[in-house]
Amino acid sequence: MSQWIKCSERMPEIGSEVLVYMDEPIHSATPYAVASFDKYGFSRSRVIAWQSLPSPPEEA
């Protein structure tokens, strides 16, 4: 499984969708969310760490 990457260390590639952790989630009951990252930053507020999304499940 992927490890959390601090935003202070590195940001994802522009156009990526990643799993994020927010220090104080706004309009959310959980600090975790899927967010996109573009030239303006994350689509969520207060993101302090992120990691790549897991691969989708294989069909049985």
Answer whether 50's CB lies under 8 Å from 5's CB: yes
Give pLDDT, residue 12. Answer: 98
Closest Cα to residue 37, out of 56, 57, 59, 19? 19
Place of tokens 């952790």: 21
Give pLDDT, residue 60. Answer: 63
pLDDT at 2 over 80: no
Range of the domain at 15: 5-52
Query: What is the number of structural domains in the chain?
Result: 1
Cα 31 from Cα 29, distance rounded (Å): 7
Give pLDDT, residue 32. Answer: 94
Does the residue 60 lie in any domain? no
Does the residue 45 lie in any domain? yes
Residue range 13-57, pLDDT digits in tens = 999 999 999 998 777 789 999 999 999 999 999 999 999 999 989
Give pLDDT, residue 29. Answer: 86
